[in-house]
Amino acid sequence: MKVYRVTHPSELKERPAPASVALGNFDGVHRGHQAVIAKAMQQAALLGLRSAVMTFYPHPKEVLGLVQAPAYLTPLPDKLEMLAGMGLDAAYVVQFTPALSKLTPAEFIEQYIVGLNIKQVVTGFDFRFGHKGAGDIHTLARWSREKADFAFEVVSKIEQENHKISSSRIRSLLKAGEVSKVRDLLSRPYRITGLVVHGDKRGRTIGFPTANIAPAYPYVIPRYGVYAVYVVRGKHRYPGVVNVGKKPTFLQGDHPVSIEVHLLDFNGDLYGETLAIEFIDFLRSERKFESIEALRTQIESDIRRAHSILLGSTNV
């Protein structure tokens, strides 16, 4: 997949080939996003165009100061990896800036659709663009109908349990620890990738060595607690148990969030390696234990439950 890094004003050294493009932020690349992208790919095949997406980075809410600490479901490198895996020919990554946010809908269309040789546009039903979101699907449909610079298709709302599938809903579910529901909305487990760094090594002293994960990007962090997970290490995938939180049994006061994972059926040194944590199910909330023995007993129970969920057996 060819990646075009587009800055404002739009200036590319080469004019892209005619393309069918899905427009959107696509944070999470959830099932709703997947439907929009699939439609763009279908139209590309039908019309003999390249298949592509156009996404924006940083997220507009970050640039416009609508969020203080930006966090992503799929940071840009993860998003591009997923899009490439879907078989797209190209991705336009448009750098979102205050100047770009001030474009009128007509200016955006002229510069970033017509100007980039996009012949087919596909969006979700609620896509908005231009200064203060003044442009919408009706704006695009009218331009397509009156000026015929490009064809336009809209993908209807995709729902799960009578709720729209959206990035906002997925964020809310993660904050509630509902990672199994998130898995259904994403059509895959929620994933955090990071480097294994040195921690306090307490897990090893109580019989459950853990890998301390430093997230590679500003991910949305799920609710503090313990989860059954899979750990992806290269081409291998291991069952495990992860604790997300501030380790109240050992630490007092406010501390940075830690992500510590214990791999089942694994022995070895992981320091310096990059691992991906796939969240499968919520086991329990994080809490303070009165003794190390009480904590050890609870961890044994957590491992049995995770083993049952992940491998269908309580024998560990």
Q: Are 1 and 89 in contact (CB under 8 A)?
A: yes
Q: What's the confidence (pLDDT) of residue 190?
A: 98
Across 246-313, the runs of DSSP E, i.e. the strands, are: 258-263, 274-285
Q: What's the confidence (pLDDT) of residue 119?
A: 98
d(CA 124, CA 121): 10
d(CA 201, CA 240): 17
d(CA 61, CA 101): 11
- Which has the closest alpha carbon to 295: 223, 230, 231, 243? 243
Q: What's the confidence (pLDDT) of residue 256?
A: 78
Long-range contacts of 241-247 (CB under 8 A, 24+ apart): 241/283, 241/299, 241/302, 241/303, 241/306, 242/277, 242/279, 243/210, 243/286, 244/286, 245/286, 246/286
Q: What's the confidence (pLDDT) of residue 88?
A: 98
d(CA 159, CA 124): 13
- pLDDT tens per residue across span 168-207: 999 999 999 999 999 999 999 999 999 999 876 666 666 6
Catalytic residue status for 11: no
The structural domains of the chain, ordered by start, are 2-160 (3.40.50.620), 166-311 (2.40.30.30)
Q: How far is CA 273 from the centre of its chain?
A: 21
Give the count of beta carbons closer than 10 Å to the beta carbon of residue 242.
Answer: 28
- The active-site residue, picked from 11, 260, 273, 286, is 260
Across 198-256, the runs of DSSP E, i.e. the strands, are: 211-215, 225-233, 236-245
- Token pair of 135 as six digits: 């442009």
Q: What's the confidence (pLDDT) of residue 316?
A: 37
Whole-prediction pTM: 0.91
Q: Are 231 and 276 in contact (CB under 8 A)?
A: yes
Cα-based angle 157, 71, 190 (whole degrees, multiple of 5): 60
Q: What's the confidence (pLDDT) of residue 315?
A: 39
pLDDT in 10s for each residue of the chain, 316 residues: 999 999 988 778 788 999 999 999 999 999 999 999 999 999 999 999 999 999 999 988 888 887 777 899 999 999 999 999 999 999 999 999 999 999 999 999 999 999 999 999 999 999 999 999 999 999 999 999 999 999 999 999 999 888 999 999 999 999 999 999 999 999 999 999 999 998 766 666 666 888 999 999 999 999 999 999 999 999 999 999 999 997 766 666 666 789 999 999 888 889 999 999 999 999 999 887 777 888 888 899 999 999 999 987 443 3
Q: Are strands 50-57 and 19-23 parallel, antiparallel or unpaired?
A: parallel
d(CA 140, CA 121): 8
Q: What's the confidence (pLDDT) of residue 8?
A: 87
